[in-house]
Amino acid sequence: MSDRFSPSGRVVVTGMGAVTPLGIGPENFWPRLLAGESGIDRITLIDPSPYTTQIAGEVKNFDAADWLERKEARRVDRVIALGVAAGTLALKDCGVELDEELKDQFGVMIGSGIGGLWTMQEQTHILYEKGPSKLSPFFVPYMIANMPSGMVSIMHDLRGPNVAPVTACSTGANAIGDAYHVIKRGDAVMMLAGGSEAAINDIGVGSFCAARAMSTRNDDPTVASRPFDVNRDGFVMGEGAGVLVLEDYEHAKARGAKIYGEIIGYGMSADAYHVTNPHPEGRGASSAMKMALRNAKVTPDQINYINAHGTSTSVGDVHEVKAIHNAFGPAASNVLVSSTKSMTGHTLGAAGAIESVFCLLAMRDGVVPPTINVEEQDPECNLDVVPNIAREAELNIVMNNSFGFGGHNVCLIMQKV
């Protein structure tokens, strides 16, 4: 690495892009999120009538041809197109001028919890209906979970480290945390980091229905996702992508970049308990939060806001609350906690990245997005969950929790600069 890129050890966020069920780009989704609007509706991407759950948080009015060359747009998996859109928005937002030297030090780390499920479904049908000779040569490239990261790198000629973590619903947060370490140790000066997911198809909906994990409140979609409410009955699937531009602080300062915040803490742990259920005492989640606090060198009382994993499942919400109490002690009674999944649904591997965007915007504007649909708060979820109405607050340090199947737990801490 040249002297121009000597690492400072500090990593800041200088760009962001997100494609969500509430809109594409912060100018579209952020006002709706603060207004407590729901992006949940009846599924239109497939015929949902055979399924017990018929609602989801779809990205509306999304055209892959707006982000990719038309021929490519017709054939890539939706998960790739969403990731490319979010990555392109983030790169544009950061305003950097890419020269050849910087391209060698600019990496991409965009993961997906599931990958190209649309491609998998389509090509499986072709295999059984028409035979193996009719399979697409693009089947594998557009199915594998690393391709959103790979495609963003190819499109923008970014030649630094390129990785795609896969840790279920922790993936997007994992990507941001791992990219943070890449820059801290000097292996890149800038990284596009986040997650993408597009699983609202027959295989995705059908499999989660079989697991009896999703809400069946089909008659009133906008109130189906209700984290911390006593009448919650399962998560609502969402889709989308979120990408941050992470950058070495001194490099960002030297080019006069706008800075949304600084990544200061990253914690990871395993529940080592069950393939889908969280540990009943929130053991792993608590451990990840404690690790992030240690790495950030902050105390629990310094955290102003937690964007909770908060999926609206009967056990998950309670276990996360237990974990917060365990990690925060008495400070848990003062921290503001909300679940934006009440409005977007659970975007699976993209959730941690999209919600990191929400955290940074909350710090920028001094306002906590609400948890909507809290009609009767579960007494076991005994935290200030910012019910139904956004709340102005001084936000200097915020935390983002993401937990995934397999017991993967990730916690990120960000602060104002």
User: Among all residues, which ones are annotated catalytic?
Assistant: 169, 309, 346
For helices 26-34 and 351-365, the axis angle rounded to 10 degrees is 80
The CA–CA distances, whole Å, from 362 to 30, 60, 292 equal 9, 24, 20
Residue 69: how many other CB atoms lie within 10 Å: 10
Residue (of 173, 347, 242) closest to 17 by Cα position: 242
Residues whose CB is less than 8 angstroms from the CB of residue 325 and which lie 6 or more positions away in sequence, other chains included: 332
Give the integer Cα–Cα distance in Å for 155 and 83: 12
Opening angle at CA 256, ends 27 and 3, nearest 5: 130
217 SS3 class: coil
Amino acid at 215: S
Q: How many helices (H) and strands (E) does the chain have?
A: 14, 15
Give the integer Cα–Cα distance in Å for 192 and 125: 34
Q: For the chain, how far is it from start to end, CA to CA, in angstroms?
A: 26
DSSP of 295-322, one letter per residue? HHT--GGG--EEE------TTHHHHHHH
Amino acid at 156: H
Hey, what are 285's tokens? 């989640």
Give the integer Cα–Cα distance in Å for 337 and 392: 13
Residue 250: how many other CB atoms lie within 10 Å: 16
Residues whose CB is less than 8 angstroms from the CB of residue 22 and which lie 6 or more positions away in sequence, other chains included: 28, 29, 32, 33, 37, 39, 343, 344
Hey, what are 310's tokens? 């908060």
Hey, what are 100's tokens? 């050849």
